[in-house]
Amino acid sequence: MLDIEKIFSLPAPGLLRLANMVILSPHGLLRPYIANYSLAVTASMAKGSTVLPTASNTLVFGVSERAIFSGLRGVNSKAVEIGGYAAGLGWMLLVEVHPGGLFPCLPIPQRELRDRAFAWSDLDSDLDGAMGRLLEGVDSTAALAAGLDALFLRRLNVTPGQRTVAAAMAMLQGGKDLATLRAELHYSEKQILRLFHRHVGTGPKTFSRILRLKRALALLGRGDLSLERVAWASGYQDGAHFSRDFSALCGVSPGAYRRKMSLFYNDPFKLEG
């Protein structure tokens, strides 16, 4: 089994290597659906550590000296504190999934997963067992990444509805509104909403709010812009609207976030651009 020393000493097919985390790249065919595989040391995780919303799922596998714990952090439309869960674990494997990316491997309505936590064995006992055997058997990060790729490639089944939703999300990321989606996709608003709830877990309006939040978070991280300038550059009507929406999604005000930024994790590989 992998341990912390092996994770940080052996070569890895990585996207990024940090002091307490190694981020591995998935197979090219999986990249539209899986953002990355992250191996995180939990001992250095601060109490109150919080993951910010990305309208996506995370498969969580916690490894201690005695056992492997598995779960799913469902489609996150608001911030969620994870420091308590990580306490007592040696390290965690996080399979970070893009918005809409879990449905091709786990075809259940994603709205049912929204802002909820599940035992992975309750959702897919076969994959849960396969993941446990993989984690117990590998001794390198390269072998782990290859094993994860094989598991998810075998399950990948992309439907026409998935392709439509992917096109709709790309349009929203490009700044198009819901009326444009209806016109270009030749779908009614009800049909688009149904597709988003099934494949993504949020509606298109919530998805757009999270996209705008991601832009604001990037600007807040610079530190040289006033909150009013961040609001304007992110597409908010005014500073008050920005503060209300930010607080609703993140649980803290923009100013409080800026003061305690190290407690918040904003996945750089989800909702890029």
pLDDT tens digits, one per residue of 206-233: 999 999 999 999 999 888 899 999 999 9
pLDDT band at 45 (very low <50, low <70, confident <90, very high): confident
Cα 99 → chain centroid: 7
**Contact status, residue 192 vs residue 161, Cβ threshold 8 Å:** no
**Contact status, residue 76 vs residue 112, Cβ threshold 8 Å:** no
What's the pLDDT at 42?
81
What's the pLDDT at 215?
93
Please tell me the number of Cα atoms within 13 Å of 249 on its side-chain side. Answer: 27
For the chain, how many helices (H) and strands (E)? 12, 10
Please tell me the number of Cα atoms within 13 Å of 88 on its side-chain side. Answer: 6
**Contact status, residue 216 vs residue 234, Cβ threshold 8 Å:** yes
**Where is average pLDDT lowest: 14-23, 100-109, 114-123, 177-186?**
14-23
The beta strand positions in 123-207, using DSSP E, are none
**Residue 17, beta-bridge partner list:** 22
What's the pLDDT at 40?
86
What's the pLDDT at 109?
97
What's the pLDDT at 47?
78
Tokens of residue 153, six digits: 């490639």
**Contact status, residue 95 vs residue 37, Cβ threshold 8 Å:** yes
What's the pLDDT at 157?
97
Using the predicted structure, report yes or no on whether residue 39 has a pLDDT greater than 80: yes
What's the pLDDT at 214?
93
Percent of the chain with pLDDT over 70: 97
Using the predicted structure, report yes or no on whether residue 273 has a pLDDT greater than 70: no
What's the pLDDT at 10?
67
Average pLDDT, the chain: 91
Measured CA to CA in angstroms, residue 181 lies from 82, 100, 191, 201, 246 at distances of: 35, 17, 11, 18, 25
pLDDT band at 15 (very low <50, low <70, confident <90, very high): low
Interval 57-67 mean pLDDT: 87
Alpha helix ranges (H) inside 10-140: 83-86, 120-123, 125-137
What's the pLDDT at 46?
76
Q: Check residues 78 and 45 and name the one with the higher pLDDT.
A: 78
pLDDT band at 249 (very low <50, low <70, confident <90, very high): very high
What's the pLDDT at 3?
79
pLDDT band at 78 (very low <50, low <70, confident <90, very high): very high
Cα Rg of the chain, angstroms: 19
Using the predicted structure, report yes or no on whether residue 102 has a pLDDT greater than 90: yes
Using the predicted structure, report yes or no on whether residue 121 has a pLDDT greater than 80: yes
Interval 225-249 mean pLDDT: 94
pLDDT band at 200 (very low <50, low <70, confident <90, very high): very high
**Contact status, residue 231 vs residue 171, Cβ threshold 8 Å:** no
Interval 184-197 mean pLDDT: 96
**Where is average pLDDT lowest: 4-18, 122-136, 168-182?**
4-18
